[in-house]
A and B are shown apart, each in its own frame.
Chain A
């Protein structure tokens, strides 16, 4: 049967198993939208801004492991999708973003709503296509999904000129053959020799640390990681992107590391004699000054992307391969090895970490007693959300202090539960990504922990939530200031708060939520926090916006001292350094 370009596109997406499209129509995409209208298998979610579409698709992808799909129109539709593309690119999230383009004969003429989407998005996509022939659509879609989801995943853009999807031009739909690209072979198997070397190095170490990141989540290697440490019993830390890949409740888990990592995790990294890096990329928020990073440690680095290895920190034993497969091989090798880890040395090392934890663990209650504050502390908000949701919610967040508090105090025991923009640090990510998660898991609790700054960057999506019945819970940690900016201004600019407050201009979030057809609660007193959250989470079928006023002066600690600090140089509380 002959199909138009638009119908071909929909069929190709169906064959990739797509259930949702997040998008926004417009002139150049109207043929495509007509094709969306003419089918029932894929549900289109109309967002209120294209940034919301990309973040929603991104949240869907992070929670499910399946690629998120976006359709936008040309020009402003395409450029509005850019922030979401960059967000997904930095965190290696598989997205397929289809942008309408002006008709082929108009390209290059500065026609209405024309933007060179391929050019604009080039540095922030894994790959991109401009469709030149309608018949190519099935093969391009197939290739795009293959590229987005294999190797180190990432976003792919497909730009489709309007004439390509015109309903009057019909062609035979040719089912694409299995993708085979001579220039792209993502399936890399770990080198057995390197696995052997790694096993030997681990088993001969006395102060080993496992440092696992987002790659371990994207590579679905949580089970393997747990199995590995059942044998080794060594301390584990996760990056911001890796939280949940190793259960927080496990006795070997030290919490997050890096800029706002725990004292014990950062101390362990600095003093380790061996670091096993798994799907992590030693970025600047982890290592602090690279030349001062872990001076005594041998580094084993497992990553699917060879370019991540020895980019910042030289790897003594690089292993290029899928994380899951590499860990399976490593476990086998360790079991087979005649060398056994020095359990006495490791137990001494574990005791050292326990001692560090006792000194400066993330014990918010401890600080609270000292402060005698009557105000609500932001950390407590996260602790209460953790309690009320029994630690089993999907938590999305935006960017800033609330994000760090959420990462520190919501203890993730499963992978793909913590959804945040780690690499790009995109404010506005929280609410739309929560929509994507809720669509994927309608029966699970989905919480967006946000701040009054971030939430206003994509607040228009409250309307989308009403249209599609997405009862996410929004916890607004409202400190009436751009908290992280303010913290830096306190620490580095003698408290000169340039453009970090709103004066009296903050909206009444309760009324705002109600105006969008949802429920809103405001909390200003400590003793009302727990009960209000319980009430909010009891409203199963409603989006509830809980606006919690918190102590504005609170900072996020620990915090690495920079510039020129090592990982053991931390601010532990206001004015107190290690």
Chain B
């Protein structure tokens, strides 16, 4: 969704999910274009009618400029994750695992190994399962961001 960059605008969106009994699985927000508004991506789960109702309620918020359901059609989805694991002795094997996810080893020393990956949230979930054996020390995820695949756009 596109949200005016005004005080309290984000709180209104987040509050609405809580107020109407919906869950936010992930949330990403940053200003785009001229900076007068932000693009906000929320991942949530619900039946078709529940999602439709969420969208209608969001649209009613005065600071919301536009809202769209990316899963209605083909779309690109991407999430960034930074993962810290214990020092890796065999870097090649790690690099092999993360290669398909644009993975990079940012640092690998006595204290820890930090890697970055991008992919769909499912890809990242799967990777985290694989890395579990290596003892994950810390994870941070950006939350998904997305774009329509086709000519469809979410712009002003």
A interface with B by C-beta (< 8 Å) = 118-119, 122-123, 126-128, 130, 132, 147, 152, 181-184, 305-307, 310-311
Closest B residue by C-beta to A130: B7
Say yes or no: B56 contacts A307, CB within 8 Å.
Answer: yes
7 pairs, A vs B, C-beta closer than 8 Å: A122-B12, A147-B62, A182-B156, A183-B64, A183-B65, A306-B56, A307-B57
Interface of B is mostly: helix
- Cβ of B56 and Cβ of A183 under 8 Å apart? no
B residues sitting closer than 8 Å to A (CB atoms) are 4, 7-8, 11-12, 15-16, 19, 49, 52-53, 56-57, 59-60, 62-65, 156
Choose among A147, A152, A184, A307 the residue that contacts B53 (Cβ–Cβ < 8 A). Answer: A307
Is there contact, CB below 8 Å, between B15 and A307?
Answer: no
Q: How many A-B residue pairs have CB under 8 A?
A: 38
A310 x B65 contact (CB < 8 A): no
Q: Which of A122, A126, A306 contacts B11 (CB 8 A)?
A: A122
Instruction: Please name the residue on chain B nearest to A123 by beta carbon.
Output: B19
Name the residue among A152, A307, A310 with the largest chain B CB count within 10 angstroms.
A307
Q: Give complex CA distance A245, B7 in Å.
A: 40
Bound Cα distance A310, B15 (Å): 22
CB distance from A440 to the nearest CB of B (A): 28
Given contacts A306-B56, A307-B60, contact A183 B4 (CB under 8 A): yes
Q: Nearest 3 pairs between A and B by C-beta?
A: A307-B56, A127-B62, A183-B65
A118-B8, A306-B56, A307-B56 as given contacts; A184 in contact with B15, CB under 8 Å: no
Question: Which residue of the partner chain B has the closest CB to A143?
Answer: B62
Contact check: which of A126, A130, A132 meets B62 at CB < 8 Å? A126
Question: In the complex, are the beta carbons of B56 and A130 less than 8 A apart?
Answer: no
Closest to B9 in A: A183
A-side contacts of B12, CB under 8 Å: 122
B60 & A182 in contact (Cβ 8 Å cutoff): no
Query: Chain A residues near B62 (CB, 8 Å)?
Result: 126-127, 147, 181, 183-184
A183 to B6, CA, bound (A): 12
A123-B15, A307-B60 as given contacts; A182 in contact with B8, CB under 8 Å: no
Bound complex: CA A311 to CA B53 (Å): 7
| B8 and A310 contact, CB distance less than 8 A | no
Q: A130 contacts B8, CB within 8 Å?
A: yes
Chain A residue numbers with a CB within 8 Å of B7 are 130, 132
* Residues in B neighbouring A305, C-beta threshold 8 A: 60
Nearest CB in chain A to that of B49: its residue: A310
Q: Which chain B residues border A183 with CB–CB below 8 Å?
A: 4, 62-65
Residues on A with C-beta less than 8 A from B19 are: 123
CB proximity of A478 to chain B, nearest CB, Å: 38
CB distance from B32 to the nearest CB of A (A): 15
Q: With the chains together, A122 CA to B63 CA distance in Å?
A: 13
Shortest Cβ distance from B37 into chain A, in angstroms? 8
Question: Are A128 and B59 neighbours in the complex by a CB distance under 8 Å?
Answer: no
| Docked-complex contact A119 and B11, CB < 8 angstroms | yes
A270 and B76 CA atoms in complex are apart in Å by: 47
Give Cα A310–Cα B12 distance, bound, in whole angstroms. 23
- Measured CA separation A271–B57 after assembly (Å): 31
Q: Which residue of A lies closest to B156 (CB)?
A: A182
Given pairs A123-B15, A123-B16, A311-B53, 13 additional interface contacts (CB within 8 A)? A119-B11, A122-B15, A123-B19, A127-B62, A130-B7, A132-B7, A147-B62, A182-B65, A183-B4, A183-B63, A305-B60, A307-B57, A310-B49
Q: How far is the CA of A152 from the CA of B61 in the complex (A)?
A: 12
Q: Please give, as numbers and ranges, the residues of chain B lying within 8 Å of A306 by CB-CB distance.
A: 56, 59
The complex places the Cα of A290 from the Cα of B36 at a distance, in Å, of: 43
**Chain A nearest CB: distance from B93 CB in Å?**
50
How far in angstroms is the closest Cβ of chain A from B75? 23
Q: Contacts of B57 on A, CB cut-off 8 Å?
A: 307
